[in-house]
A = this chain, B = another copy of it.
Amino acid sequence: MLYIGLDVGGMTAKAGVVNENGEILIKSSCLTGIERSFEAIVDDMAALCRRIVEELGVSMDEIGSIGVGIPGEQSPVTGLVAFCNNLGWRDVPLMDRLCTLLGKPVFVDNDANVAALAESMAGVSKDVNDSILITLGTGVGGGIVSNRRVRSGAHGVAGEVGHMVIVADGEPCNCGHRGCWEKYASATGIIRMGRALIERKPDCALALAVEGDISLVSAKHVIDLSKAGDADCTEIFDSYIHYLLIGLSNLVNIYDPEMIVLGGGVSYAGDYLLDRVRNGLADYVYCPSMSFAQIELAMLGNDAGIIGAAMLGRDA
């Protein structure tokens, strides 16, 4: 049996046909866009699914189910997508509409949950029962996998680790609260600290790297300069690691998974990130004398969204 995975973002939706082993056989994409209607976007997504199935040279009969990863949440009670901010969706019948258009069972879950499932089915956590994937990107997302199933929670809202408050009354977050982990442990957090550095010290190496234009500061600029030994950027990276480790140790203390997988843009820092996290975590967890979660980097990259979405229906 084959499965279709859809990875829906604010600009594009990517779709792929995936086999039982989580391997992508074909993939393509279509535009989404917050300015377009829900119906038009879903129609295009359905057409994309039909097109890749045809291009692969298989029939829709061979497709077991459709899975969709969204940057939002579907309510298990109503079956509606309660919200999907990048597309302006509120209480939309994504599952029902795709099911009607394609005549297949449709499964919808949060994009970080889906990426966590992908790593657990076909990636770095595939030999592990309990894992948490953390995406360190624009925000911080999370997906909990227990016994190879996504833990969506009793009300479909589990895994929102980026909105765990680690600094009570701290930096204001887009979610309306303050001090959320993602304000400190995301790429955006590094950028904020980089911009503050330039304002404080306009002749620093980071300022030179972006020619004084703070709008150009990226996490990669800061991390690359830190790798090269720049003291200011190393201070930022040290601070980033401190906050990252606070959140990771919270997850260890609460949930104690076998493995924590780090994905998203910041994880492309590779061993420079991984070594710091692995070496530092024991200084943060409650029980350092006992074993705790192994830390690994995600390995499926951008394909995780398609693979994980496709796998939502495999064992359902």
Interface on A for B, CB 8 Å cutoff? 73, 75, 77, 82-83, 129-130, 142, 144, 146, 151-161, 163-168, 170, 175, 177, 184, 242-243, 246, 249-258, 284-287, 289-293
Among the listed B129, B156, B246, B256, which residue makes an inter-chain contact with A256, where contact means beta carbons less than 8 Å apart? B156
How far is it, in angstroms, between the C-alpha of A175 and the C-alpha of B20 when the chains are bound? 46
How far is it, in angstroms, between the C-alpha of A287 and the C-alpha of B130 when the chains are bound? 25
Shortest CB-to-CB span from A274 to chain B, Å, is: 19
Q: Tell whether, in the assembled complex, residue A243 and residue B157 are in contact, meaning their CB atoms are under 8 Å apart.
A: no
Chain B residues with CB under 8 A of A290:
73, 75, 77, 82, 155-157
Q: Tell whether, in the assembled complex, residue A163 and residue B257 are in contact, meaning their CB atoms are under 8 Å apart.
A: no
Among the listed B154, B168, B177, B254, which residue makes an inter-chain contact with A254, where contact means beta carbons less than 8 Å apart? B254
Q: Tell whether, in the assembled complex, residue B75 and residue A157 are in contact, meaning their CB atoms are under 8 Å apart.
A: no
How far is it, in angstroms, between the C-alpha of A165 and the C-alpha of B243 when the chains are bound? 10
Shortest CB-to-CB span from A30 to chain B, Å, is: 28
Shortest CB-to-CB span from A38 to chain B, Å, is: 18
Q: Tell whether, in the assembled complex, residue A256 and residue B153 are in contact, meaning their CB atoms are under 8 Å apart.
A: yes
Q: Considering the complex of A and B, which 5 residue pairs feature the smallest CB-CB distances, nearest first?
A: A153-B256, A158-B256, A154-B258, A163-B286, A160-B253
Shortest CB-to-CB span from A163 to chain B, Å, is: 4
For the A-B complex with A151-B255, A168-B242, A254-B254 known, give 13 more contacts whose Cβ atoms are closer than 8 Å: A82-B290, A144-B254, A144-B255, A154-B258, A154-B293, A155-B256, A158-B254, A160-B254, A160-B286, A164-B254, A165-B249, A250-B250, A255-B255
Chain B residues with CB under 8 A of A165:
166, 246, 249-250
Q: Tell whether, in the assembled complex, residue A168 and residue B243 are in contact, meaning their CB atoms are under 8 Å apart.
A: yes
